[in-house]
Copies of this chain bind each other. A is one copy, B any other.
Amino acid sequence: MARTADPERAAARRDAIMRAAIALFAEQGFESTSAAEIAKAAGLSSGSVFYYFADKRAVFRALFERDLPAARELVARHATGDDPVASLLAMVDVLAADAMDPLAPGIMVELVRQVGKDPELARLITETAATQHAGFAALVERGIRAGSIDPALDPGEAAQWIQVAIDGAFLNADPDHDPRPMLRRMITRFLSRPCDHAGDHA
């Protein structure tokens, strides 16, 4: 009854294409990577790429399809905790973990570019980012009510700046250096209530 003779083999090939594609897109960019190159790197022939994917753009999109459910799950997992700041930092840690991947800056940059060209990709990424944003904003709000976050902050704006910091870390990714400690320092202090003796010393 199976449509495909061997669904497992088909999934493996799709996966091989995606793995080859992510490396090539990150290193060379989307436009500079030909379908033939991807096929070769995946151990297949040129035309096969178009059997598994509608077009080159669909290959790129597929690389980010798992991110939306992952974001939903991440937000749900950290929505209910005793300490909102701790939950928020745990989310940051997870999102920033991939920033040590040497492919991260290349993929990040290519993603921004392709989002402007592929409306379907744009919808996917917008929703993923909005999901993370909502999760952060809710935690900031809870932190404010609990007194552990500066009430002068607007939760939505603060959430966006947390994402800005993570984006910056991705862009400057370095495989030899874990960005998370400094990212935590930056975000913790950004959120905390003002410290009335800030520059004391004198």
Contact = CB atoms under 8 A, between A and B. Distances in A.
Most buried by B among A193, A195, A200: A195
A157 to B, nearest CB: 7
A178 to B, nearest CB: 12
A182 interface: yes
A169 interface: yes
A168 B160 CA distance: 11
A165 B186 contact: yes
B192 A198 contact: yes
Contacts of A190: 185-186, 189-190
Given A112-B105, A201-B147, A164 B171 contact: yes
How many copies, total? Answer: 2
Contact of A195 (B109, B164, B172, B198): B198
Nearest to A181: B157
A40 B49 CA distance: 36
B195 A199 contact: no
A113 B110 contact: yes
Contacts of A28: 117
Contacts of A171: 112, 164, 167-168, 171
A39 to B, nearest CB: 20
Nearest to A169: B164
Contacts of A202: 147
A172 B182 contact: no
Contacts of A199: 85, 148, 192-193
A108 to B, nearest CB: 8
Contacts of A160: 172
Nearest to A152: B185
A46 interface: no
A78 to B, nearest CB: 18
Contacts of A165: 164-165, 168, 186
Interface in A152-169: 157, 160-161, 163-169
